[in-house]
Chains A and B, each alone.
Chain A
């Protein structure tokens, strides 16, 4: 098929709180749209078949592989990338925990790790190290620096639980 025959489609979506309207080729992956069209290169592209987790972003609050989603499939949806967290000068608490616990070495897997952590810290108990490792099992770190990442998540779980207890003192531990 001649690729000039295929009309670009209108895409409207919200990325990190900002509305974007673009024409996109149907075959454009969400990961490539974020990086090349919007210039949000914090989302990393590793394997491009869903195995490594580097490209993980949040769509409507759920972690997804942006290499396994077409940009056009995000039409009308809310997307959050690693750029929605902190900045170099003002890290988010999660990013600060990664720094504190040496949760990154080369940093390639880090954006995907962070966005997965945002999802699972919000929705899963993560009471044990085994649960944390299971929750992160879809994100590969080829530096194999997993222990530091797990330590960072444990510290975030402790902070989260303390904050939830403070917000609802009668509810007991969550």
Chain B
């Protein structure tokens, strides 16, 4: 199908962009890479009166190291840039790995970080990574800037904390402790398809036992999930202990209530989540203990 008519503006600054959003409150949509928005516009599921194209706001196209060992990512950064960045590979290999699963190369060449966070698809990799990495998402509106923790940002399916005149401008990923183990596994029917389920983990080991664990999932709820109960179970434990592994998987998966859809039943998604957890927990443990055979 073809899009319904809309007007188009290509502002030269963030202030101008959010002023346009405020002026056309609720009737304007922001477009950057357009890889989620354009299919909806082509199907006329979304019929904005005005598209505000932030694609020329080069001030939002950056990726830089921060002093705490983290990175600051401008909203206009493309998925493909994160996927191929040596800085990301060094500081957040879990992000490099996950980016390879985002659709296909032509989509990653256009799709932006700010766009994925703003779209808040429950089966998208970036929202889940933001949650896993305790990202801080900074937005701009006519009322100024504010920073929202990822845990407060994703409210539900395609729903987030953004106001209609608010624009994501950057996301900060705080640095990880040296030696942090990581893993990411995703299941989709074909390469690049929407994930049916995915699991990611960060793990830090001190004096032989886990002293920090973070587990995030997607595709198994209305929004990406952190699994705090399973994280708590792992504290002070070792993942080469079968009983610990089983208890953590149960805590991470037993209370999942995935939706029924054309792709998978709730039971199947829960089963997949448990299988992915087993692999991810083992891989992250391995990476957090590089000397272990």
B175 surroundings in chain A (CB, below 8 A): none
Binds B, one of A47-55, A154-162, A163-171: A47-55
Are B38 and A50 neighbours in the complex by a CB distance under 8 Å?
A: yes
Are B8 and A1 neighbours in the complex by a CB distance under 8 Å?
A: no
Residue A73 lies at the interface, judged by CB distance under 8 Å to chain B: yes
CB under 8 Å from chain A, chain B span 122-167: none
What does the 1/0 interface line of B20-62 toward A look like (CB < 8 Å)? 0000000000010011001100110000010101010000000
Chain A contact residues, majority secondary structure: mixed
Q: Which of A26, A29, A53, A138 contacts B8 (CB 8 A)?
A: A26
Given the known interface contacts A50-B107, A64-B110, the answer about A29 and B42 at a Cβ–Cβ threshold of 8 Å is yes
Q: Which partner residue on chain A sits nearest B5 by CB separation?
A: A3
A149 → B minimal CB distance (Å): 15
Given the known interface contacts A26-B8, A32-B2, A69-B34, the answer about A134 and B110 at a Cβ–Cβ threshold of 8 Å is no
Q: Which partner residue on chain B sits nearest A140 by CB separation?
A: B190
Q: Which of B7, B42, B53, B106 contacts A138 (CB 8 A)?
A: B106
What does the 1/0 interface line of A2-19 toward B look like (CB < 8 Å)? 010010010000000000
Are A68 and B105 neighbours in the complex by a CB distance under 8 Å?
A: no
B268 surroundings in chain A (CB, below 8 A): none
Total contacting residues, chain B, CB less than 8 A: 31
Are A137 and B55 neighbours in the complex by a CB distance under 8 Å?
A: no
CB under 8 Å from chain B, chain A span 73-119: 73, 75, 116, 119
Chain B contact residues, majority secondary structure: loop
Are B38 and A68 neighbours in the complex by a CB distance under 8 Å?
A: yes
Q: Which partner residue on chain B sits nearest A24 by CB separation?
A: B8
Are A27 and B104 neighbours in the complex by a CB distance under 8 Å?
A: no
- Give the CA-CA distance A32 to B32 in the complex, in Å: 20
Are B7 and A6 neighbours in the complex by a CB distance under 8 Å?
A: yes
B45 → A minimal CB distance (Å): 10
Are B191 and A63 neighbours in the complex by a CB distance under 8 Å?
A: no
Residue among B4, B38, B191 facing the most chain A CB atoms (10 A cut-off): B38
A56 → B minimal CB distance (Å): 6
Q: Which partner residue on chain A sits nearest B49 by CB separation?
A: A1
B10 surroundings in chain A (CB, below 8 A): 72, 75
Given the known interface contacts A1-B49, A3-B5, A73-B55, the answer about A65 and B110 at a Cβ–Cβ threshold of 8 Å is yes
Given the known interface contacts A6-B5, A26-B8, the answer about A67 and B107 at a Cβ–Cβ threshold of 8 Å is no
Residue B3 lies at the interface, judged by CB distance under 8 Å to chain A: yes
Residue B103 lies at the interface, judged by CB distance under 8 Å to chain A: yes
CB under 8 Å from chain B, chain A span 28-55: 29, 32, 48-50, 53
- Give the CA-CA distance A32 to B4 in the complex, in Å: 14
Residue among A9, A63, A67 facing the most chain B CB atoms (10 A cut-off): A63
- Give the CA-CA distance A116 to B104 in the complex, in Å: 10
Q: Which partner residue on chain A sits nearest B51 by CB separation?
A: A26
B191 → A minimal CB distance (Å): 4
Residue B86 lies at the interface, judged by CB distance under 8 Å to chain A: no
Residue A151 lies at the interface, judged by CB distance under 8 Å to chain B: no
B192 surroundings in chain A (CB, below 8 A): 137-138
Residue A150 lies at the interface, judged by CB distance under 8 Å to chain B: no
Are B38 and A69 neighbours in the complex by a CB distance under 8 Å?
A: yes
Residue B265 lies at the interface, judged by CB distance under 8 Å to chain A: no
- Give the CA-CA distance A50 to B108 in the complex, in Å: 12
- Give the CA-CA distance A111 to B175 in the complex, in Å: 44
Given the known interface contacts A29-B3, A64-B109, A73-B55, the answer about A48 and B104 at a Cβ–Cβ threshold of 8 Å is no
A97 → B minimal CB distance (Å): 20
Are B107 and A73 neighbours in the complex by a CB distance under 8 Å?
A: no
A selection of 17 A-B contacts at a CB cut-off of 8 Å is A1-B4, A26-B51, A49-B43, A53-B106, A62-B106, A68-B107, A68-B110, A70-B34, A73-B34, A73-B53, A73-B55, A120-B105, A134-B191, A137-B104, A137-B191, A138-B105, A139-B104
Question: Chain B residues in contact with chain A, CB under 8 A?
Answer: 1-8, 10, 31, 34-35, 38-39, 42-43, 49, 51, 53, 55, 80, 103-107, 109-110, 190-192
A-B complex: 6 closest residue pairs judged by Cβ atoms = A138-B104, A26-B8, A3-B5, A49-B39, A137-B191, A62-B109
